[in-house]
Each structure stands twice: as structure tokens, then as C-alpha cells.
Chain A
Amino acid sequence: MVILVTDYRITGRIRDERNHPAKDYVVQAFDKDLGIYLHPDDRLGKANTADDGSFEITFNEATFKDWFESEPNVYLQVRDEDGRIVVGTQSSKNATGRIDFQIKFGKPQTNPLEPDIYANSLERMRAGLQSVGDAVDLSRDDVRSVFELIAGALASWTTYRDELVRVCGYDGIQVPEQPRRVDHRHVTRWDEAVLPV
């Protein structure tokens, strides 16, 4: 089902490092363009965060539409009362007309020497499943059949994981694979669907 979007709404909430609402911050929304002088990034709107840290920015097609784009490529900048940029988000195209940002301040400390705690994670998952197989009575048809179904799902995931995420557009992962080693900000962004019910 295809929905044509002409009006856009950006909502969100900002909290500080201690999860308290971040009020009176200025949130600016931009559409990322080519960046050269004929096509600077478009300003989509601006809002101040409320007492509960929430904000809302609405805009329409006219605010961003250039001949080369049909969707806004949205990013935010959050500034404090002195105008300093506290957080900037990555840009991403939006086709749904609804974007929600949840932002938490704070710059996580990174350390390249942190051990890789995810090493062999898939092997450990397989070992976990294998230990189940060792503990139950696989000579029973009903038990073996379910065990094989679960093993099949894990095997499929192992084989096709990256492709499935890419092809199906799963957007759930929003932090680096090694968060202790790679600089990142705490932003959850959802390009939301609109329910017709």
C-alpha cells in the first residue's frame, strides 16, 4: 500500500544524561542537500523543547523539494541556550511523513582497548542450542521435529542475517557494533508508519 506524503511531522523528546527532561533547548531540522552554494541544506523548522523535553516541527514539501529529490533527507541539530550544538543526528531520507526522535545527551567514553565481548557470539548461540539437544530426548519424533525447526531458524538467520536486514530494511539497530570502541550519540530515530485504522 503506497501513501503519498505532502505534509511532514517531526516529533521527539530529549533527556539529559540522568534521564531528566532537557527543557529549553532549540531543535533545528534540516534537509540535507548537495551542500554546494546553489544547494545548501534546507531549513525545515525550529522548535524549543518543552518542560518534558518534547518538541514538534511540521513542514511541507515546499520547504525542501528540489528537482532532484522527492523525499526530505532529514537531520537535527540541538543547541543549548548559548547556541552550542549539543547533539547532531545523522541524516536519513523519510518517505512516511512521520519521524520521531528520542535523544539522550552524553558522549559515551570509547576505548579501543576494550575487549571484544561479542567474539564468537554465533558459535556460542549454536553451542547453547546444541546443549539443549544434548539434554532432551531426541529419539522422540515430536521433540526432534521442534528442535530441528529451531535449529533451522538459527541456521537461516546465521546465513542470511545481513541480507535480511538490508533487503527488509530493518531499522532497529541504531548503535555501532562495538559501542565501546566507536564514537556515537544516543539517538533513536523512527520513520514511522501511519496507521489507517
Chain B
Amino acid sequence: MNMIFGVEKFESRKEPYQTIDGDVLEHCDVCVIGSGAAGAILAKKLSDAGRSVVLLEKGGYFEGEDMNQRDEDMMPLLWKNSGFNFTDDIRIAIAQGSCLGGSTVINDAVCFPIPEITRTQWRALGVQISDDEWDRATDEVSAQIHVTKVRDDELDRNSLMLKKGCERLGLTDHYANSRNCVNCMQCGLCHLGCHYETKQDMRVTYIHNAITNPNATIRVYCDCSAEKINCSDGVADSVEGDFLDIEGNTVHKIVVNARLIIIAAGSIASTYLLLKNNISEGRAGLGLALHPAPFIIGDFQFQIKANQGIPMAYTLHEFGVTNGVEDGGFLVEGIFVPPLQFALLTSGTGVDHAEIMDRYDHFAMAGVLVRDDPNGRITLTDEGFPRVTYALGKKELDNIARGVEIIAKMWFTLGATRVVTSHIDKPILQSEQEISELVNAVKNSPQNLLLGSAHPQGGNHMGSDETKCVVDSDCKVFGFKNLFVCDASVFPTAVGVNPQLTVMSLATITADRINDKWKEFASIEISNNLGQICSIKQPMYCPTNALDGMYEVSDTKLSNMELENSSKMDIIEGENWAFDVDTLTIHNDRYWKGFFAKDHDLINTAETYAGGFWKRFQKEGDSIKGVTHPYGTTIYAKNEAILTEYPGFGKVILLKYLDPPYERFYDLLKIVDKDTLLGEAFAARTPPRGEHILTFSMSKKYSVDFMTQDDFKIIFSNKARRPDIDEVLGIWKGKLISDATLSPVLFRFRFYKDQGELKCDYIFGGFLPGTSTTKLSENDLLMFDFTGQLMHDELRMVRKDLMVGKYCTMDSSIIKRLGASAAFIMKDDSRECLPYLLRRI
């Protein structure tokens, strides 16, 4: 059954809804990342055509009745980062939605088709989409989202002020907008989500239609942040992500294995995904346009009450691409915003907040939407977050200056007593004579201009030149067979008008092309990647309730004799130990490595096994005997494994402890497969009536994240090499290695070149920063920190996204002074070291 899933425990929703209660593993034809103007359409059209679709959305699922019309409640729910989304100099506020339906839920519903000039320019840049395709797609979308022109009786007073202003200045090309709204309730709060569901956003149209189509197969996962795209040899096979609660904590994980993956998360988020996963390196993130927009507010003696009615209903096209301006140009659009957004927008004016609110009913407002060149770029910060860098060019400044001049003149002509601007140097104009000062301020002090942007576009340009562009005209990523990016990020230039209809039309065309060429993709095998989700095949990732549940429904699949390990305890590669560098998996038959549930409370349960443990078995005649050893102890508890069956447990392997004081304990094991078993530990009474202590899992196959110090030694010596300097550049996250516990990410390294020399900035534990110098030795990359020669790092590379290292000293007292737990200290000949692994961010 088609379903929307999320983390919140909603009681009643219009669409079929289920709360996520554990990790998720999916296999499907198509995985779409992002449920906005493009993603929703792609998901619907592909599922209508018979493909099984999984749609991932980072934001939450909210319906009309959740929109309570209050800025401070709705912005955290619907807006990316609660509305605080800026360029890196905080000069441009970028409005983006983060919820099911994306920015279409919070936008003003303005619909302009892609202008002819823009289509022609894009074609010259290598975008092979015909006029006929654009027209058909635009018509199809317009019908689906009910695009209609604003009626004269729907023009609110803010729009009428703009209209009057245009007429007074003798401007002629201005008219009411078209919007995707049916019988708008004119509440004026489009930015806070439509309580009445008259705005035809993606959620109430395409997503609703997809979910309710009985012939479609679609599952929508909200509160789900896609983070990793697994690819090899030009084939993307799976997406890994996290489910986040309302405070941003990871609560569960998801892996989606798909034939085809489409990234449709918007300019910034799509680029983030590409950069983070090293896709389209050197091309992704370049050429970002923003439609930067200043606002100009007129303060009038009479009331206007501009919040009453459709916020964006009227536009002056005279200077824009819609009136034939081919290079740059701008639109003037009437707009009004709710009071908190108004307060934030006017924060740079220096006018007292209370005074601003006192005059709220007397303001008229319009903005200048500038068709900018792609002056910006998106990169990743040291912590791996997206950073937007943007600079206005002369053309943009000239257009902004012209636009604000026109609006300011309009307001004064209509009787404004003052005009409020978004330039810090000239926030208030007292008369028309001061407009020239504003124009000069814009041109000469652009760094003090505060702007808005609701239309980030570009960053992953579409075109035919695969050395410069990220996607081709099918939105397929160059170099990949089955990976697509389809959203505003592929626009080769700014479109010049509010872009949602263009994005939707592009998604329609792309979906049709994918459907037409489906045979190419149908033959791609769906992989079986498990990522880090809880599964019976990898129970070390499971929380207690999942582990308990899996144990209860299983019987042992294999007999006790299959517990036998290698006769040799030393690592002999190829015989009892192996390392798969492609999957980063260790196969260790020396013993069964024990794992607690990932949410197991070690401290409060005060387990003997608090540090982790292993079990090792050998045949003795017809029986199988073993030892259990908690790491870091001298305990080797002898036991015998006996196949048996107990009521309520099914077929199990009884692990009977033989010697005091352990004979009052026993385990009941269930072998899942030759490498995996589940177990429960008991005490106090005879089996099967003992007191249950804990549930655990054991494995002979595990990820490098769980490597022991013995594993580390072999990998470091035999499976890793000295890296080249250029290979390590970038950011890495590090974990300490112990036999016992899986440590969290404890530190970050950032390698960079400083005047040709490789250096490393580190931060340990989130609060101890520093810089290390480096040196290449014959076998290692060496690093030296504030300890000088007392301690140093030795690093080797396993593969380009994984390194192993050790932080060593001859003086054992130093490590103790660092406060490192004994579990993490490794003897290395005469030295003591802290071994660790590094994963590239």
C-alpha cells in the first residue's frame, strides 16, 4: 500500500501515514531525493508508469491543518534552517522550504512559464529541449496545479499601489500574476503554508495523486536526510540516509537500493550531495544564480493593510526578460510578508522594531527580482556543510539601482512620507530628492546592501560539454549510467522569472524521457547494500528492541558444530583472516566477535562484558568446546556448546559454562548464518528458566568501523600504503580503535597546503584544536603536533576515503596523562600508541 512515513507520531492525517519505528531497507526501481517542484513530479510520473518509487524528503509531513499562521511556529517546521539560510557573508537571505512539497509549500505560488528568450539562450548553451517539449510540459503542469490568473477583484491593496505607481510613472507592461491556486482564501500567509489548501503545492497535487493512485507503487519517507550515494564504475546503486527527529538527532537509518537515482533537492542541497560524495568533482557547485532582490517599502499616512490578501499578485515586466530584455534585466514585484519576516527583513534599517510594527498597516512594499549572471558557487565548509559564496557584478548592481529608483519614485509619487530601503548606508529616504543617494549607495557600497533570494538556480549546469557541465539534456550526470540531477540546479543561466513552473516543466520532460528510455535502466540489477541499518545479516547495528525481536522469531539455522573457529589464533591472512577493500569488511575466523545492542546501557547494567568480548570454539571429538573472553581481562571462561530445544525458545545452542564462578551463567545461541549469530545471556537458574541478562550478537564478518587492534596491525602493515600529499587534502573524521568498544567520531583532521607545505588542522573531542606539521617518511605520512617530538602520528592510506593511523610515543606516561582509556592503548613494539581510523567526509 502506498504510504507516507515519518518520525512524528501523528494521530490523523489525510494520506495513509505511518510512524517510523526502526531502520528501513528498501529495494525499488527509482529513488528520488527531494519532494519539491521537481522531485514530486518525477516521483509521480515514474510511479504512474509502473516503476516502484521511493521518495526521500528531509523535511516533515505537514498538512493544511498544521499551518497555524504564526511565523515563529511555521518557519521552523517548513523553512530550511528555520528560515536562517544565507550566503557566507550574510548579505543575501535565501528562502527555501524543507518539508514535504519543498519550497512550493512556502512560496507565493507565482507561475510564469519559461520565457522564450531564456529557452533560446539555453539551447545555445547546449540544452536540447525543443519549444514543443517546453510548451507541452508547461501545459501539462499548469493543468495539474490549476494555474489561473489573479482576478481584478483579488488584487489586494499592496498590488493596487504597485499598479497605480506604474500608471503614474507612465509604465505600460504590468499586469496581474498567474498562480497555482484555486479560489484563494487570500489570507496573505503563503510563506507560512496554506492552512486552507487552496494553494496547489506539490503535496496536495502531485504527491497526493501519486499516493492515491491504486496502480502506482510509491513510498514517501519524510524526516529523512539522504547523505550517501554509493557508486562504482559509473553506476549508482544505493542511497543511505538518516531519519532525524525535530531537533535534528538521528533516530534511525535508511538504505534504498535502486536501479535509478534522481537527486532533486534544490540548488544547494543537490550540490551538497554531489560534493559530499565526490561526484562531478570540479564541476558541481559552479555558476550559481540567485535572482537577488532588494525590497523597497513606502510609508504612507493612510492605511493600506498590505497583509490582507494575496502577497504576490502583480508584476511590472517592462525591464525584464518577459518584455524582451535579453541580457540581465529585472522585474518589479509587489510583495508583502508576515510580521516576523518583516521584522527580520527590516532589521538592517536601524528603525526601531516597535516603530516598524506600529507602521505595519501603512506600508506598501515591492521588490526587484534581478536576472543575475551565475556569480555564485557552492562549496563545503570544513565541517562538511554547504557554503554559498556570491558576489554581485556591475550589471546586477546597475539593475538593482534602477529597480529601487523606480519603486522609490512610485511610492513618493503616491504620497509616501518616507521610503524604507534595504541598504544599511541609506535605510530611510525622506524625500524623492534622496533617491539619487540610494542609487549611489547601491552602486558604490554593495557590501552594505541586504537582499533576499527565493530562487537559487544553477550550480550543476545542464549542457552538452561534459568537461564543464554536470548533466546532459536528459538531466543524467555525465559519467553515470543511472544517476540524475533534476531541479533548478541544472539551469545554465538564471531563468529571469519566478522559476517554479520552469522547474516543474523540466521535471515533466525528464520523467517522460526516462520513461521512454526505461529499457536501458530496467536491466540494471538492484543491489543489496545494507549500509549501516539494523538487519539480521548485520545485527551489530541493531538497538535492543530490534535484537530482542529478531532473536524471538529465529531458530538456530545451523548446528553447534558450525561454531567451530580456525584452529590458529594468530592471524594468517587467507586462512583465518581476510580484508575486502571494496566493501571495507573484515572476515575474521579466529573467534566470534561479540557486539552489544547499539543502545545498550553498559554503565548501568554493570556487565562483566562491559568492554566487549569474543567467543572461540574448537571441536573435541563429537562435542564442541569453547572459551569466552571479555577484552581487557584475564577471564577465559570455558564452555561447551550443545544443540538442544526448549519450549518457547525453539531450537537453540546451549552454551554451558563449565568452571566456577561462571557455571551459574549460560547463553542460548541461535546461528543466523555461517558468520552471524544472536544470543541471550542468562544467570541464576538452570536453563531455560534463568534470569535474562542481555541480548547480544556475534559475527565473524564486520565493517572496518569495528576493527580490533589486531585487525588494525595487519591492515596498517599489509593493506595500507604511504599516501601522496594531494591524496589526503580535505576533511576526515576520526575514531579511536579498541578491541572492546566502538568509539564515536572523536576528532576531525583538515589537510591543506600552506605555501606548498602540507599541514593538518585538527580538533579533538570538539574542543581541543591545533595544527600539525607533516613529513613524508619511507612508509608513512608523519604528523607532529604541540607535543613536538614526544608524540607523533603515522598515517597510511587504505583507499582514497579511508586511512589508518597511530599516535605514538616511547613514553607511556604521556598517553596516560592524555586520559586515554586503557582499551584504546595499543602496544607497538616498545612504544604505546593510540590507533585510529579516518574516513573522508
By a beta-carbon cutoff of 8 Å, the part of chain A in contact with chain B is 1, 11, 13, 15, 19-21, 53-54, 96, 100, 102, 104, 108-109, 111, 113-115, 117-118, 121-122, 124-125, 127-129, 131-132, 135-137, 140, 142-143, 146-147, 149-150, 152-154, 156-158, 160-161, 164-165, 167-180, 186, 188, 190, 192-193, 195-197
Task: Quote the shortest CB–CB distance from A73 to chain B (angstroms).
Answer: 19
B173-231 contacts to A (CB < 8 Å): 182-189, 195-198
Interface contact A172-B188, CB-CB below 8 Å: yes
Interface contact B198-A19, CB-CB below 8 Å: yes
- In the complex, residue of chain A having the shortest beta-carbon distance to the beta carbon of B89: A143
A residues near B353, Cβ cutoff 8 Å:
152-153, 156-157, 160
Interface magnitude class on chain B: 35 or more
A residues near B75, Cβ cutoff 8 Å:
121, 125
With contact pairs A117-B246, A127-B82 given, residues A102 and B339 touching in the complex (Cβ less than 8 Å)? no
Task: Enumerate 15 A-B pairs (CB-CB under 8 Å) in ascending A order.
Answer: A1-B302, A20-B183, A54-B153, A96-B303, A125-B72, A125-B76, A125-B83, A128-B83, A135-B387, A150-B84, A156-B353, A165-B339, A168-B360, A195-B302, A197-B164
Q: How far is the CA of A164 from the CA of B342 in the complex (A)?
A: 13
Q: Does B394 contact A (CB under 8 A)?
A: no
- In the complex, residue of chain B having the shortest beta-carbon distance to the beta carbon of A153: B347
With contact pairs A164-B339, A176-B68, A193-B302 given, residues A115 and B8 touching in the complex (Cβ less than 8 Å)? yes
Q: Does B571 contact A (CB under 8 A)?
A: no
B residues near A167, Cβ cutoff 8 Å:
357-358
Q: How far is the CA of A114 from the CA of B361 in the complex (A)?
A: 35
Q: Does B90 contact A (CB under 8 A)?
A: yes
With contact pairs A102-B186, A169-B361, A170-B339 given, residues A129 and B82 touching in the complex (Cβ less than 8 Å)? yes
**Binding-face segment, B34-42, B305-313, B501-509, B573-581:** B305-313
With contact pairs A1-B302, A121-B72, A190-B309 given, residues A172 and B344 touching in the complex (Cβ less than 8 Å)? no
Q: How far is the CA of A98 from the CA of B160 in the complex (A)?
A: 16
Given contacts A102-B186, A170-B357, 13 further A-B contacts (CB under 8 A): A19-B182, A53-B183, A102-B187, A114-B12, A118-B77, A122-B72, A154-B340, A156-B354, A160-B353, A165-B339, A170-B339, A176-B68, A193-B302
Q: How far is the CA of A188 from the CA of B602 in the complex (A)?
A: 56
Which among A122, A143, A150, A188 is the interface contact of B344 at CB below 8 angstroms? A150
Task: Quote the shortest CB–CB distance from B836 to chain A (angstroms).
Answer: 25
B residues near A122, Cβ cutoff 8 Å:
72
Interface contact A128-B343, CB-CB below 8 Å: no
Q: How far is the CA of A86 from the CA of B447 in the complex (A)?
A: 56
Interface contact A153-B185, CB-CB below 8 Å: no
Interface contact B68-A172, CB-CB below 8 Å: no
Task: Quote the shortest CB–CB distance from A106 to chain B (angstroms).
Answer: 9
Interface contact A180-B304, CB-CB below 8 Å: no
Task: Quote the shortest CB–CB distance from B268 to chain A (angstroms).
Answer: 13
Which among B68, B81, B307, B447 is the interface contact of A131 at CB below 8 angstroms? B81
Interface contact A196-B183, CB-CB below 8 Å: no
Task: Quote the shortest CB–CB distance from B644 to chain A (angstroms).
Answer: 47
- In the complex, residue of chain A having the shortest beta-carbon distance to the beta carbon of B450: A146
Interface contact A178-B198, CB-CB below 8 Å: no
Interface contact A186-B90, CB-CB below 8 Å: no
- In the complex, residue of chain B having the shortest beta-carbon distance to the beta carbon of A118: B73
Interface contact B90-A136, CB-CB below 8 Å: yes
With contact pairs A111-B11, A164-B354 given, residues A154 and B344 touching in the complex (Cβ less than 8 Å)? yes
Interface contact A186-B72, CB-CB below 8 Å: no
Which among A146, A161, A193 is the interface contact of B303 at CB below 8 angstroms? A193
A residues near B70, Cβ cutoff 8 Å:
118, 173, 177
Q: Does B157 contact A (CB under 8 A)?
A: yes
Interface contact B183-A132, CB-CB below 8 Å: no
B133-161 contacts to A (CB < 8 Å): 153, 157, 160-161
B719-761 contacts to A (CB < 8 Å): none
Interface contact B77-A117, CB-CB below 8 Å: yes
Q: Shortest 4 CB-CB distances between A and B: which pairs?
A: A128-B82, A153-B347, A193-B303, A124-B76
Interface contact A186-B304, CB-CB below 8 Å: no
Binary per-residue interface labels of chain B (60-93) against chain A in the complex, 1 for a CB within 8 Å, 0 otherwise: 1010011111111101110001111110111100
